[in-house]
């Protein structure tokens, strides 16, 4: 939601200060399992950018990359020889 918020603000030039609204739908086959939920996320961008008191995940990611302490995530759906150049030699998959 934070990424969408930042992209929408950049593209439109309109400051986005209201909470984000998120809608989830369970599209199960039986009516008893079909549900819709609506929620709000306030200041979604703070998770990415930080809140002035603690850093956001982009700053953590930058520190990891600059320090060279990247670790693998073999549970990622992108962990596949088709998507990752490190796949043949990656020690995190073993
Ligand atoms: S092969 Fe290694 S580096 Fe590539 S996605 Fe999987 S865990 Fe990450």
Q: What is the pLDDT of residues 36-45, one digit of tens each?
A: 999 999 989 9
Predicted confidence (pLDDT) per residue in 40-79, tens digit:
999 899 999 998 999 999 999 999 989 988 888 999 999 9
Average predicted confidence (pLDDT) for the chain: 93
CA distances from 41 to 5, 18, 57, 61, 76 (A): 11, 9, 17, 22, 25
**Over the Cα atoms of the chain, what is R_g?**
19
For ligand 1, atom 5: residue with the closest CA = 79
Average pLDDT in the 72-88 region? Answer: 94
Please state the atom number of ligand 1 nearest to the C-alpha of residue 74. Answer: 7
Give the span between the Cα atoms of 88 and 86, in whole angstroms: 6
**Ligand 1 touching residue 78 (CB < 6 A):** yes
Count each helix (H run) and each strand (E run) in the chain, helices first: 3, 2
CA 25 / ligand 1 centre spacing (Å)? 31
């Amino acid at each position: 939601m934070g990424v969408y918020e930042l992209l929408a603000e950049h593209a439109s030039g309109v400051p986005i200060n209201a909470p984000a609204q998120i809608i989830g739908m369970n599209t199960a086959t039986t009516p008893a399992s079909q549900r819709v939920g609506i929620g709000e996320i306030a200041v979604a961008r703070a998770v990415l950018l930080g809140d002035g008191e603690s850093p956001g995940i982009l700053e953590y990611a930058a520190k990891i990359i600059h320090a060279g302490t990247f670790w693998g995530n073999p549970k990622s759906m992108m962990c596949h020889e088709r998507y990752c150049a490190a796949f043949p030699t990656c020690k995190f998959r073993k």
